[in-house]
Amino acid sequence: MAKDKKDLKNVKENSISKNNATLDEVQDHYDVSDKWLSNLRSEWDSKEAMLLGKAEDAISKKTKSKISDPRLSTIVFERSARVMNRNPSGKAYAESQDDIGKNMFMNLLIPHYRKKDVEPYSHLLKLRFMDLYSMVYGSSFGLVPWRVNPKTGFIGPSLINLKMRDCKPQPGVASLAESDYFDHDSWVGLDWLKQQDGQFWDMDEIDLLEQELKQAKSSGDQKSDNRQDEESWIERERYPDNPVGTPAFPRVKLITEYQSGKWITWTPQLTSSKTSRPHILRTVHNPYPDGMLPIVVKHSFPLLDSLIGLGEFERGQTLQYALNSLINLYMDGVKYSIFPPIAIDPNNVVPSSIKWGAGERWYMNNPNRDVQPLNLSPQGLQTFQSTYEFMLGALYNQSGTTSVSGESGGQSGLGKTPEAIKFVADRESARDEWDRFMMEDTIQQIYTRWISLITHNLDSDVELRLFGTEAQSIAKRFPDVMELFDSREQGRVKVNKDLLGGPDQQYDYVIETGSTTKPNLEADADNLTTVLRAFTENENLLTEMRAKGKDIDFGELITRWMSAGMIKDTDKIIIDYKPQAAEGTAAGVVDGGAGVVPTDGSVPPEVAAAAAAAGGQMPVDQAQAMPVEQVEAPIEMPQFSDPQIAEIASQVLGGVAGIPPQQ
C-alpha cells in the first residue's frame, strides 16, 4: 500500500513537472511573438481609423474641419463586394478507385456544411471579411475547427474569423506552411467552457476555475492597462469604457497555441490555487493529418520575407492622409476668406464695442484705418482643384481603378466616353483578378481542411435532402442509401464516413475559377443574344449540329438570357411544355398543316384515297407505295406566354426562325 502511495505521488509530481515545462514553453512562444509584432501593431490604429473614414493625420487633427475623404475605404469595400460576390463553386476528387460515389457524397456535404456555417455570420460574409481585412492589415487569418455547438445542435467544420490583434504567429518564418505553431487570444464565458467535450478538455480543471471565481466573486479577467495591445482603435473609440465580465457572468481570457503536434489552451491571467500557475484547460493531439495547422491566411499582396503581407491601406495611406490634409486646409481657408482676420489698433478703438454681427456699431477714431481686414494670399485656394485631382489620380492608380470624371494627371483623360468606361473596367478587372486569385487560394485551404475534418470526425450519419435530377441520379446509383419520396422528385440520403472512404481516403479540392466574382450581366446578356441571333439567322446551323450528334437546349438558353437581363419571375414566364395531340391524329404522324403526314415518309391511305377521288389520277395502292419528300421542319424557337417579353425577344432577336418581326 505504501508503495502504491509512493507511485501515485511520483506520477503526480511528474505530471506537475510536465505541465510546468509546457507552460514555460508556450508562454515563451507567446511573449516572443507579441514582441515581434510590436512594430506592426503601432501602425494598425491608423489603418482601423481609415476603415471608419476618420481623419487621423497630423494636419487634419489641428484643423477645425476634420473632414475625411473615404476614397480608400470605399475602394476596399467595393473590391471585396465584387471579388466575394457569391459562395464559391468547386469539386472534391477522391484519390482511389471507384471515386465517383465518394466524390458525389463529399460534394453534397461541402455545400451542406457551408449553409450551416452561420455562427456568428454566414459563410459568405466570413469569406468577405477575410478579403476585406486582408486589404486593411495586409493579411487576414481564419481558424478552421471541427465545431460542436450543444445549443444549436450543429456538428461539423466551420470557419472563424480571427481579429488581427488576437493573432500571434511564429516569428522568423515567412509563411504558415513553414510555421511550427500559431498562438491566438480569445475571451470566453464559463458556460462556454463547461459545454466543451471532456474527451479533449480538462473538465476537472474547468470546475476548479469556476469554484475559484465564485469564491472570489470575481468578474474574471480584465483588459490590460495598455488597451491598444488588446483592443482595436474601433473598440477604444466606440467603447471607451469596455467592461469585460460580471461576477454573475465572468469572462476568461484564453491563449491557445496550435502546434503541429498538439494544441494547448491555458489562462494567462488566472492562476490555480493548487499550483500557483496558470490553468491548463486543454492539451490535445492535433486532429489534422501531417501536422497541418488549423489556421488559414488570406494575403492582399504576399511578401517573400514577411508572414504579414502588404495591404491596400498601407500602400495608399500617405495619399489618403494627403487628401484629408488638403481638404481640411482648404475648408479652413474658405472660412478665413469669408471671415478674414481683422487688424485692430487698440489705442483708437473702444474694445467693448467690438462685436461681430450685422448692424453692429464699433467706436473708433479713424474708420478704415484703425480696423482693417487682414488680406491673405488666395494662391493656395486657387491651386486646390489641380492638387486634389493629382493626388486623387495617384490614389486611384495605386489601387487599380480610375475615375472618368476628370482629366487630371494619372487618369485616363477620356472623360465619360465609352472608351473611358472600358478603360475603368479593364483596370478594375486586372486588379480584381489578382485579389480573386489570392481569395481562391485561401478558399482552397479552407475546404481542404474541411474535407480532412469530415473524413476524420464524421461519427454519425448526416441526412441531406435532395431535389430533382440530383435525387434521381443518386437513387439510380445508390438505391440502398437513397430514399425517394412519392413524387420521386425529392428524397433524402444519409451520408456516413464509410461512403466517403474512411479517414484514410485522400481528396483534392479544385475550386471553379471566377465562381465567387460578381457576374457581368450586361456582357452575359450580349453574349447570349449573339448565340440566339446565330440560330435565328441561320436555319441550317441547328441541323448541322444535330448531324454531328450535338443539340441545343433552347429552354435553358432562353432562361439564362432572361436572367442576364434581370427579368423578374422567369419561373412564371417559362413554364413546362405539355404537348397536346391534335384532333384526328395518331401516334407516328404529325400535322403538317395540309393534312396528316406519317413520320416514316409515306403518304397515308386516307390522303391517297382523297386525292384519287378528287382527280382520279393515282390509285390508292400506288399512293401507299409512293414515298413523299421529307420536309425539313422549321427550327422551333421557344414561345413566350408574356406578350411584353415576346415583343422584346422579337425586337432583340430580329424575329423567330429568321422571320423578321411584324411591323
DSSP state of 500: T
Distance CA 80, CA 209 (A): 42
pLDDT at residue 320 is higher than 90: yes
CA proximity to 445, closest of 177, 61, 97: 177
Which of 557, 566, 572 lies closest to 519, judged by CA?
Answer: 566
- Mean pLDDT (whole number) for 405-433: 58
pLDDT of residue 114: 94
Judge whether residue 567 has pLDDT over 70: yes
The amino acid occupying position 351 is P
Percent of the chain having pLDDT more than 70?
77
Pairing type for strands 251-259 and 507-511 reads: unpaired
At 221, give phi and psi (nearest 5°): -70, 155
Strand partners, 583: none
Task: Answer whether residue 299 shows pLDDT above 70.
Answer: yes
Q: How far from 243 is each of 45, 164, 191, 237, 252, CA to CA, in Å?
A: 21, 21, 18, 14, 13
Give the residue, 403 or 319, on which the prediction is more confident. 319
pLDDT at 212: 94
Which residue in this structure is represented by grid cell 461519427? 459
Query: pTM above the 0.85 mark?
Result: no
Mean pLDDT confidence for 608-620? 45
H helical segments located in 576-618: 605-615
Determine the pLDDT at residue 6: 55
**Per-residue pLDDT at 421:** 55
- Closest CA relative to residue 514, chosen from 86, 68, 73, 3: 86
**Over the stretch 79-96, which tens digit does the pLDDT of each residue have?**
999 999 999 999 998 876
Averaged confidence pLDDT in the chain: 80
Q: Which residue has the cell 504576399?
A: 302
> Which SS3 state, helix, strand or coil, does residue 311 take?
coil
Contacts of 351 (CB under 8 A, 6+ apart): none
Query: Does residue 299 contact residue 134 with C-beta atoms inside 8 Å?
Result: yes
Task: State residue 663's pLDDT score.
Answer: 45
- Which comes out higher in pLDDT, residue 154 or 660? 154
pLDDT band at 98 (very low <50, low <70, confident <90, very high): low
Instruction: Please report how many Cα atoms fall inside a 13 Å half-sphere around the Cα of residue 589, on the Cβ side.
Output: 19
Helix axes 123-137, 71-83, angle to 10 degrees: 140
Task: State the average pLDDT over residues 460-483.
Answer: 75
501-541: pLDDT as tens digits? 888 888 889 999 989 988 776 777 777 788 878 877 787 88
List all residues 6 or more positions away from 304 whose beta carbon is below 8 Å from its beta carbon.
Answer: 174
For 181-225, write each residue's pLDDT tens digit: 999 999 999 999 998 988 899 999 999 999 999 999 999 988 877
Q: How confident is the model at residue 580 (pLDDT cuts 50, 70, 90)?
A: low
Grid cell 440560330 — which residue? 535
Tell me 582's DSSP state: P
Q: Determine contact, residues 514/90, Cβ cutoff 8 Å.
A: no
Categorize the per-residue pLDDT at 333 as very low, low, confident or very high, splitting at 50, 70 and 90: confident
Residue of 612 and 482 predicted with greater confidence: 482
The predicted structure's pLDDT at residue 437: 95
pLDDT band at 568 (very low <50, low <70, confident <90, very high): confident
Position 194 scores a pLDDT of: 92
For residue 402, pLDDT beyond 90 = no
- Percent of the chain whose predicted confidence (pLDDT) is above 90: 37
Q: What are 230's three cell numbers?
A: 488588446
SS3 627: strand
The residues, any chain, with a CB within 8 Å of residue 407's CB and separated by 6 or more, are 413, 415
Q: Which residue has the higher pLDDT, 494 or 136?
A: 136
With contact defined as beta carbons under 8 Å apart, do 159 and 122 qualify?
A: no
pLDDT, greater one: 575 or 48: 48
Instruction: Please say if the pLDDT value at position 112 is more than 60.
Output: yes
Give residue 630's pLDDT: 47
Q: Is 161 helix (H, G, I), strand (E, B) or coil?
A: strand
Task: Name the residue with higher pLDDT: 295 or 583.
Answer: 295
CA distance 293 to 301: 22
Beta-carbon contacts of 15 under 8 Å, excluding residues fewer than 6 positions away, are none
At 310, the pLDDT band (50, 70, 90 cuts) reads very high
Q: What is the pLDDT of residue 502?
A: 80
Whether the predicted pLDDT of 133 surpasses 80: yes
Q: Given a cut of 60, is residue 543 above it in pLDDT?
A: yes
The stretch 376-398 carries a mean pLDDT of: 84
Is pLDDT of 49 > 60? yes
